[in-house]
Amino acid sequence: MKDTLQKLLEENHGNITEAIINEALEYDSPKSFFEDLLQYGCQSWMVSSMIRYKDTHEFYDKHYDEIEELRAELDEQWIGLNIPTHSDLKNFLAWLSFEEKARLLYDELEMSL
């Protein structure tokens, strides 16, 4: 899986997928990274670059267009995202986009192995 992620890293620059791959490659087992992330989410603090609000706000601002595109897709699929109004919106959407893109990437990786 590491070799495949390295190849994908060459194709992804400045997007959410690049951020996910960089985090996954820090693990001895990228498969474990994806499985843990998909089970526990960013709220578990396992994603070192997405712990503090400052970090998630920067992530949101950097990937705004990609996040909004994903949010619109999910909103259409789920007929409303039910975004919590009592929480930090940028943080919520940063975590949501990271987790959803990771899920899609993991599905793609599993199919190619």
Tally of structural domains, the chain:
1
Q: What is the pLDDT of residue 17?
A: 97
Residue 34 CA to residue 32 CA, distance in Å, equals: 5
Residue 57 CA to residue 72 CA, distance in Å, equals: 19
Q: What is the pLDDT of residue 100?
A: 95
End-to-end CA distance of the chain: 8
Q: What is the pLDDT of residue 36?
A: 96
Q: What is the pLDDT of residue 81?
A: 62
> Residue 103 belongs to what domain range?
2-112
Beta carbons of 15 and 66 less than 8 angstroms apart = yes
Q: What is the pLDDT of residue 72?
A: 85
One pLDDT digit (tens) per residue for the chain, 113 residues: 899 999 999 999 999 999 999 999 999 999 999 999 999 999 999 999 999 999 999 999 999 999 999 988 887 887 666 666 667 889 999 999 999 999 999 999 988 75
Length of the chain as a residue count: 113
